[in-house]
Amino acid sequence: MNTAVEKINLLGMPKEKLEAFFESLGEKRFRATQILQWVHQRGVDDFDQMSNMSKVLRDRLKEIAEVRGPEVVYDETSKDGTRKWVMRMDSGNSVETVLIPDGERGTLCVSSQIGCSLDCTFCSTGKRGFNRNLTAAEVIGQVWVARKAFMPFEPNADRPITNVVMMGMGEPLLNFDNVVDAMNLMMEDLAYGISKRRVTLSTSGVVPAIDRLGEVTDVSLAISLHAPNDALRNQLVPLNKKYPIAELLAATRRYLARLPDKRKATIEYTVIEGMNDKPEHAEEMAELLRGLPCKINLIPFNPFPESDFRRPSMNATRRFQKILNEAGYVATIRTTRGDDIDAACGQLVGRVEDRTRRSQRYIEVQQVTP
């Protein structure tokens, strides 16, 4: 008879939860600080190496706890320097994590779910269906693995990861508690010490969760808009049927109003040829966003096999940008990075044991479509 007790993974515990954990063991709260520094600042996952804790405590921790990150099954670097990891999670599913270097800045794109419970029509992840939410340890584990890939793993070493964006696989606000715990660790001075301005959560528009987010954190916010009106956004982002644009932008304003500084939301807009790239769409966007503190990130669509959409011409994208710039907005065109290793925006797929049968339905449609 197997009586093994499942160990507690300390990797995903922010400081407050670690303090409660050690108090439950009859230990002092400062043990949480020690664990945070060993694990997140030095990359240590072996309790025996944690020399400032007693042997008795280390032995106790080995019995009931662990520090376990995801298993790396793929690690590839693009010709442009973009690096992609495929990380296997418990139960055999995997997610993808991407590091985009840009001068002294390194932006890590982190996943929050295995697959995605939404079904945005321009995103490859959604076509793979959905399996489950990632745990907090699996979310922060992506940062931990990426950081371990660059040695030395020391507090004062140059940081290869200066920014984190929750823009990988999944909708972060549908995995609320685990994502918040992971982001708290990203910003924790005793862990990764990333500025709240440099941790960005991107959402397709889960309006009640945006309001809830504003009650517990002040990370930066990005809105996956992709359309200037409800009729078009209903086609591209089905969640819009539940939370239309007016409600989404109102929630965004409420979130920004809570922040202690004058930060702007990032409006993400995937530009798709013949769908949402016309001058009238840009003019409608300019009017729609009037008065909202924001910057606009135009993302040329990145093709993938299950989609009939096409990448817009650069002329069309620049014309769209020009209209927004002339209306007074800061609008930039995101440079496509990592497309030779399928690491570009909208291309992350991982390995998903689909509980929704969505992926099978797309396959069946493709088989009967001439």
- Active-site residue list: 96, 345
β-strand pairing of 331-333 with 130-133 = unpaired
Contact 64/5 with Cβ under 8 angstroms?
yes
Cross-strand partners of 224:
268
Any alpha helices (H) in the chain, and if so which ranges? 15-24, 31-36, 55-64, 124-127, 136-148, 176-187, 207-216, 230-236, 245-258, 279-288, 314-326, 358-368
**How many other C-beta atoms can be found within 10 angstroms of the C-beta atom of residue 152?**
10
Contact 12/135 with Cβ under 8 angstroms?
yes
Q: Is the peptide bond before 14 cis (omega within 30 degrees of 0)?
A: no
| Whole-angstrom distance, CA of residue 160 vs CA of residue 96 | 18
Contact 43/153 with Cβ under 8 angstroms?
yes
Q: Which of 88, 149, 106, 101 is nearest to 338 (CA)?
A: 101
